[in-house]
Chain A
Amino acid sequence: MSAPERSRASPSSLAELVELMPHRIYDVIVIGTGAGGGMAIKTLCEAGLKVCALNSGRRLDPHKDFRSHRMPWDLKYRGFGDPQTHSASEPDFPGPSEYVHGAWETEHVHTTAPGTDWVWPRCSAVGGKTNFWGRSSAIFGDIDFRAASLDGYDVDWPVTYAEMAPYYRRVEQMVGVASTVQNRPSNPDGIYLPPMNFRCLDMILQKGAEKVGVPYLPDRISQLTVPLGTHPACHYCGNCTSGCDVGAFFSAPYFLLPAAEASGNLELRTNALARNIVVDESGQAQGVAYIDRQSRREFEVYGRAIVIAASCLETTRIMLNSKSRHWPTGIANSSGQLGRNLCDHLYGIAASGYLPQLVGQPSFPDNVSDSSIAWMPRWQNLLHPREEKFIRGYSVYPDGGCWEFPSYQDEIEGFGSSFKREIKRRYPAPISMMTQIPTLTSPQNFVDIDPQAVDSYGVPTLRVHFQWGANELAMWEHSKTMCGEVMRAAGGIVDFVADHPESPGYSQHEIGTCRMGNDPRKFVTNRFGQTHDVANLYVADASLFVNVTDKPPAFSILTFSLRTSEHIVQQFRDHTH
């Protein structure tokens, strides 16, 4: 399919006439409205800069689009989705569901190199994945920023914890994080709201973990256990990842965009699919070419600076597709590193089973945050970076108890009244442990543009090259042993251990394709997320990150974006932009 024609040829609508008028030049164009884009939009607008934000999907109306409070029988397919549209080959594919309609994309805009398995859930709604995220919010420390100095693999980040700490503290206060001070060497502490309470299963597993010598602690979770400013406290209904109708956990539409809109400095264009960065005669960024998804026509919008935060892989795709005389292999890619160093979290069920102590007990509201209340933060390679058979470390999210659906039914034999009774008896007892294992960078793991494929808008698609490496697979084996030990030490029965981890991409934590670093020959951006080659082009999502750590990325995306955005404001004050 060929690219849509330029709208300029024959104006037939008001929108096109507006395009024909002398160009308005905004201070900053921001691509994306999720954690990175949302924070940039808020910070820039509040500083008085005129911002045009491009978002590839629509705005959501929480009261219409989030069906999180519906019982399964109130959904036509009971929450399993229409079998006709639900991909049978990817039954656990995170994203589209009956509970959230029309927020997740269904088209695949990537291909995979032979031997690569990669899933890429994409949320195009305003606010992006922050609408539905897991809210786990541990922060990076020097054990992460200086990992290369400790174990000799790869490179350090161009920042230190001391430098980032003040930004982390400000984001904690803006967002509200429930947790406790834990004094863990791999987990810097912050400023916290009261923690979520431990449930029976947490109390039991914590005792087991203690016996094995593994930490079992309240997670850091961006969920309001008490009201924060105008945001109400959580009501613990438990369907968070289908969207919150009262905004009791952090998401960009509830926490960042209202302030930007109130400033009068934001113009948000929805259904605007950024295609490429437009450059001027000197190769500097001049604007963004985007496709209006409703009319399928292409428009351009101009700014003095551009922040790109479309999510790691989409950001990379836009940059690789921004080819010009100046940038023949993609914008700001003189280092050749754009698209390289793709890292991901290996997710997998390291052990699952049940706690016999809880069999036959009354049901209990265990699922009040739709993910982990507790976690087992990295405990490996802390005293010495090479204590284990692998370098770095991983974390584990334990969970279980009374959820909506008795998915442990596979573990119970038979049928009839005894089967029905056993399903009921087991209901409070299931537990499972999900790993969060960082991959190391590898020359084999990268993305490029597929020369032979375009998406339904005619935009060249990304091609993913990715394999799990030996280090992460060694951690996966280790996690299976350790999680089994913790469960058994707690008196639990292990009845399932996954043969394979989830597919790469499943975690939605991909990072690293526009890495930050001081050397322009080796890194795409500098320590502020500003591209080395194009001074007025900034990156503000997880593609900047140097390694993937054992922590989830969203909270750090917010923090790095805050710092980058304030750097941009300073450049405007200094008249650099």
Chain B
Amino acid sequence: MAGQNIERREILRILAVAAAAAGFPGFQKWAFAGAHSHSSLAQIKPTAYRPVFFREQEYALVERLTDIIIPSDETPGAREAGVSEFIDLMASRDTSLQNRFRAGLMWLNNHSRKRRGKLFLALAAEEQVALLEPLAYKAKYRAGEERGRDFFDLIREYTVMGFYTTEIGLKELDFPGLRFYSESPACPHQNDPEHRHLPSPNW
């Protein structure tokens, strides 16, 4: 059939495109996170990232927050995927986003100083989590922390955006798209249309 040759040719072309695209300047971890089995990419050495928009202290805080939101556990998390670099890039292109991030980070540090007497990054990990929980769980919401909740929603949204658009993030989900199938994939449980008897969940 005419379509049979597509696969190999396309895959080669995509690899070529991907290799070229990974060369965007300033994204050490992205290139790392998206590393294909391509020799030139394997040679890229991660070096300290220099933020474009955030100040060094702000950037360290952003990186820590992304790490708390999507941690490295059994699988890699936001830190390995370079999510803070993505957030820095997006913020660098949008002044309203800059203001929201900067004001939010400032709120969090003030809040931390007020409640715990230290900047957020100086707190122990469990103290950091304790400070964030009232911003993230409805049952734990506290009055007067509305701005903090808005900021937490914002940074969580950008962390999700930045994580699940890397190879690490999509591997975490076992993203099945952008592959090549010879026919349209069909439900493999034809004799269980209501899917009442599926094997127990994998995770």
Contact = CB atoms under 8 A, between A and B. Distances in A.
Interface of A: 63, 67, 69-80, 82-84, 88, 196-200, 202-204, 206-207, 225-227, 230-239, 245-246, 248, 355, 357-369, 373, 402-406, 409, 413-417, 419-421, 423-425, 427, 490-491
Given A74-B21, A74-B22, A88-B94, A357 B194 contact: yes
B173 interface: yes
Interface string B136-165: 111000000000000000001100111011
A45 to B, nearest CB: 25
B77 interface: yes
Given A73-B30, A74-B17, A83-B90, A235 B10 contact: yes
Nearest to B30: A73
Given A238-B178, A248-B3, A357-B194, 7 more contacts: A63-B13, A237-B178, A238-B177, A363-B175, A368-B181, A404-B170, A413-B136
B180 A236 contact: yes
A374 to B, nearest CB: 12
A355 B193 CA distance: 13
A69 B17 contact: yes
Nearest to A63: B13
A414 B136 contact: yes
Interface in B61-110: 68-71, 73, 75, 77, 86, 89-90, 93-94, 96-97
B127 to A, nearest CB: 14
Interface stretch (B43-51, B111-119, B183-191): B183-191
B174 A362 contact: yes
Interface centre among A77, A203, A415 (most CB of B within 10 A): A415
B58 to A, nearest CB: 18
B162 to A, nearest CB: 7
Contacts of B184: 196-197, 225, 234, 236, 368-369, 373
A491 B132 CA distance: 34
A200 B187 CA distance: 5
A415 B132 contact: yes
Contact of B186 (A70, A197, A246, A360): A197
A372 B104 CA distance: 40
Given A74-B21, A80-B90, A420-B71, A235 B6 contact: yes
B165 A233 contact: no
Nearest to B69: A415
Interface residues of B, number: 73
Interface of B: 1-3, 6-7, 10, 13-14, 17-18, 21-22, 24, 30, 33-34, 68-71, 73, 75, 77, 86, 89-90, 93-94, 96-97, 129, 132, 136-138, 156-157, 160-162, 164-167, 170, 172-190, 193-196, 198, 200-203
A300 B10 CA distance: 43
A207 B7 contact: no
Residues of A contacting B: mostly:
loop
Contacts of A405: 161, 164-165
A206 B2 CA distance: 34
Interface centre among A73, A77, A232, A246 (most CB of B within 10 A): A73
A415 B68 contact: yes
Interface centre among B89, B167, B193 (most CB of A within 10 A): B193
B6 A365 contact: no
Given A197-B183, A225-B184, A235-B180, A424 B194 contact: no
16 contacts: A71-B34, A74-B21, A74-B22, A76-B21, A78-B162, A83-B90, A203-B187, A238-B178, A358-B195, A363-B176, A365-B176, A409-B156, A413-B138, A415-B68, A424-B173, A491-B194
Contact of B174 (A207, A360, A363): A363
Contacts of B187: 197-200, 202-203
A84 to B, nearest CB: 4
B173 A363 contact: yes
Given A79-B165, A415-B68, A404 B175 contact: yes
B97 A83 contact: yes
Given A83-B94, A359-B201, A203 B189 contact: yes
Contacts of B22: 73-74
A413 B137 contact: yes
Nearest to A373: B184
A423 B73 CA distance: 14
B1 A404 contact: no
Contacts of B203: 360, 421, 424-425
A227 B181 contact: no
B195 A76 contact: no
Contact of A246 (B3, B132, B176, B178): B3
Contacts of B201: 359-361, 425
B18 A71 contact: yes
Given A200-B187, A406-B164, A416-B71, A76 B24 contact: yes
Interface centre among B165, B170, B174, B188 (most CB of A within 10 A): B165
A73 B33 contact: yes
Contacts of B10: 69, 235, 245
Interface centre among B22, B176, B179, B188 (most CB of A within 10 A): B176
B93 A84 contact: yes
Contacts of B90: 77, 80, 83
Nearest to B192: A203
A203 B69 CA distance: 35
B71 A365 contact: no
B161 A417 contact: no
A413 B133 CA distance: 10
B18 A233 contact: no
A406 B160 contact: yes
Given A83-B90, A227-B3, A364 B185 contact: yes
A353 to B, nearest CB: 16
Nearest to A370: B177
B73 to A, nearest CB: 5
Nearest to A79: B165
B2 A233 contact: yes
B139 to A, nearest CB: 9
A483 to B, nearest CB: 19
Nearest to B129: A416
